[in-house]
Amino acid sequence: MELSDNEFVARYRGGDSAAFAELARRWDRRVYALAYRVTGDAADAGDVRQQAFLRAQGALSTFNGQSTFATWMYRVVVNLCRDRLRSKEARNRHLGAMRARAEEADYGSPPSGREHERREVAAQVAEAVGSLPEAEREVVVLRHYQGLTFAQIAEVLGGPVSTVKSRMAKALALLRTRLKDVDG
Amino acid sequence: MNDQMNTSPSCDEVRQEIAALLYGELEAEMRAAVERHLDGCPSCRAEHAQQRQTMALLDHWLEPALPESPVAGVTKPEPAFPGRMRVFRLLRPLAYGAAAAVVLFGLLILLGAEARYRDGQITLTLGRGAPQADRHLDLLSDTQGAVQVRRLAGEECDQRIEELVGLLAEEFAELNRRQEQRQVLLARALDVQRARDRDTQMAALEVLARGVGRDSARQRRAIGNIYDLMDAGGVVPASHVEPQRKD
């Protein structure tokens, strides 16, 4: 039977260094995807990815298990993303990069007409999500792309579930306005 | 809308719960209450349709491809490679000495070394490549950061150095430098580390700084940081000349 994340944490704390490698393998894609969508920059996302696992490895010895590893890991990644975006330079880079990154995304063979339209829509969605205020963007990415429930998001971000739901509603309203001309 | 069943939620309450309804998160009783409201409220029904449409558009933004860089490198040092050297443990609290280590490591990275930081030790490997080289030099050219380090002392300095060195270890990238130059500067950097007293250390720092190129603004700022550090240590560098901007 496959072990849970917390079980791997317990093994790692018990001296099994390979257990962390397994945790990292499980979480690598999720961490990068979250960081990419929140920061809007592949380079920033790569750095956040690296830092997140470094920080996780360093901190697991003091992980008290009060929250799940998932909640803890998401919180680490979100905080690292916030640090990235805090500088003005990063924010400017972020706003300009979201659309470009989505357009440049490698989907394999040269696009057909339909594929080109789909990429254009993806680029516009990326830009719209990237233009959201940071708090609303975090909720959208965690709920829609990472699949966390609103209760889990509240635990990651801190604060009541009602606040998370309000931010989601606000985010969807803003996105509706910014994507009103987009035909999916 | 709280956890207790509300048989007649208001429009404001329902609109806050529409996303939860669409994601299938609502408990049975709450779901029934919201759906009853939607059945009888055209405005909220329209809001429901719009949120659903917006969520469908979000699906067009696919998950980004995971870059090649293996996460396993985070947990295990890379295999031996020509020029790999085990360097030092973090210098313990002397504010200026610890700050010198930060600048030292940064200069080593200018030389094209890749460093990994783990458990208080840093392993340097020369000659490895990594993408996005230029961006990672920003830390080295952060004059404000260098001054901040200089003012700290004791435990605060330790903590700051830990953070900075950890960040450097994560930010390193290879520059396009000749191997020979790297070896020379690495030797000079080791002289700094091996210095037995502050005067010798500062002199070795100056020698190191003279060997760093001044081709880029970042390099010039990094050199400026070294001289600031030497100034803070009460040492006046004999060869210090204000870097000239190349426009």
- Indicate if the pLDDT at residue B209 is higher than 60: yes
pLDDT at B19 (0 to 100): 97
In 3-state terms, what secondary structure has residue A105? Answer: coil
Looking at the predicted complex, does its ipTM rise above 0.90? Answer: no
Q: Which of B64, B71, B166 lies at the smallest CB-CB distance from A25?
A: B71
Nearest Cα of chain A lies from the Cα of B234 at a distance, in angstroms, of 33
d(CA A143, CA B127): 42
State what percent of residues in chain B have pLDDT above 70. Answer: 31
pLDDT (tens digit per residue) in A111-162: 566 777 788 888 899 999 999 999 999 999 999 999 999 999 999 999 999 9
pTM, whole model, 2 decimals? 0.57
Q: Pick the residue with more confidence: B21 or B63?
A: B21
Token readout for B23 is 């994601």
Which chain A residues are Cβ-neighbours of B23 within 8 angstroms? 143, 149-150
Give me the total of CB pairs closer than 8 Å, taking one residue from chain A and one from chain B: 120
Helix (H) or strand (E) segment spanning residue B74: helix B72-75
In A49-108, the residues whose Cβ lies within 8 Å of chain B are 49-51, 53-54, 57, 101-102, 105-107
pLDDT at A87 (0 to 100): 65
- The residues near A18 (Cβ < 8 Å, ≥ 6 apart) are none
* A1-29: average pLDDT: 85
pLDDT at A30 (0 to 100): 93
Q: Which pLDDT band, with edges at 50, 70 and 90, does B84 fall under?
A: very low
The whole-angstrom distance between residue B46's C-alpha and the CA centroid of its chain comes to 45
Minimal CA–CA distance to B123: which of B169, B185, B176, B163?
Answer: B169
Q: Kindly determine whether residue A150 and residue B57, on different chains, have CB atoms separated by under 8 Å.
A: no
Top residue of B6, B13, B34, B62 to mutate, by most chain A CBs within 10 Å, is B62
| Count of Cβ atoms closer than 10 Å to residue A121 Cβ | 19
Top residue of A20, A37, A86, A172 to mutate, by most chain B CBs within 10 Å, is A172
d(CA B117, CA A92): 30
* A5-10: average pLDDT: 86
Q: Which of B19, B131, B132 lies at the smallest CB-CB distance from A168?
A: B19
Q: Kindly determine whether residue B60 and residue A168, on different chains, have CB atoms separated by under 8 Å.
A: no
Nearest Cα of chain B lies from the Cα of A112 at a distance, in angstroms, of 16
Q: Which of B20, B65, B132 lies at the smallest CB-CB distance from A106?
A: B65
pLDDT at B122 (0 to 100): 45
d(CA B170, CA A84): 14
Q: Which of B41-55, B93-107, B191-205, B223-237 is the most confident on average?
A: B41-55
- Indicate if the pLDDT at residue B143 is higher than 50: no
- Indicate if the pLDDT at residue A68 is higher than 90: no
Q: Which of A25-39, A161-175, B69-83 has the lowest mean pLDDT?
A: B69-83
- Indicate if the pLDDT at residue A105 is higher than 60: no
* B224-236: average pLDDT: 63
State residue B207 phi and psi, 5-degree precision.
Answer: -60, -40
Average pLDDT score, chain B: 62
Q: Kindly determine whether residue B66 and residue A28, on different chains, have CB atoms separated by under 8 Å.
A: yes
d(CA A12, CA A5): 11
Q: Pick the residue with more confidence: B225 or B153?
A: B225
Which chain A residues are Cβ-neighbours of B65 within 8 angstroms? 105-106
Nearest Cα of chain A lies from the Cα of B199 at a distance, in angstroms, of 35
Q: Pick the residue with more confidence: B158 or A83?
A: A83
A159: left (phi over 0), alpha (psi -120 to 50) or beta: left
The secondary structure of residue B134, as a DSSP letter, is G
pLDDT at A57 (0 to 100): 82
Q: Which of B17, B57, B65 lies at the smallest CB-CB distance from A182?
A: B57
The whole-angstrom distance between residue A97's C-alpha and the CA centroid of its chain comes to 16
In B182-241, the residues whose Cβ lies within 8 Å of chain A are none
d(CA A72, CA B71): 18
Q: Kindly determine whether residue B75 and residue A24, on different chains, have CB atoms separated by under 8 Å.
A: yes
Whether B137 and B218 have beta carbons less than 8 Å apart is answered as yes
d(CA B179, CA B182): 5
d(CA A61, CA B173): 29
| Count of Cβ atoms closer than 10 Å to residue A17 Cβ | 11
Top residue of B52, B74, B76 to mutate, by most chain A CBs within 10 Å, is B74
Q: Which of A38-47, B116-125, B185-194 has the lowest mean pLDDT?
A: B116-125
Token readout for B138 is 């920003």
pLDDT at A67 (0 to 100): 76
Q: Flag whether residue B135 sits within 8 Å of chain A, measured between CB atoms.
A: yes
pLDDT (tens digit per residue) in B150-169: 444 455 655 655 555 554 44
The whole-angstrom distance between residue B172's C-alpha and the CA centroid of its chain comes to 9
Q: Which of A149-163, B180-194, B218-232 is the most confident on average?
A: A149-163
Q: Kindly determine whether residue B61 and residue A46, on different chains, have CB atoms separated by under 8 Å.
A: no
In A18-37, the residues whose Cβ lies within 8 Å of chain B are 20-21, 24-25, 28-29, 32-33, 36-37
In A109-138, the residues whose Cβ lies within 8 Å of chain B are 118, 121-122, 125-126, 129
pLDDT (tens digit per residue) in B21-49: 999 999 999 999 999 999 999 999 999 99
| Count of Cβ atoms closer than 10 Å to residue A70 Cβ | 19
Q: Flag whether residue B61 sits within 8 Å of chain A, measured between CB atoms.
A: yes
pLDDT at B108 (0 to 100): 55
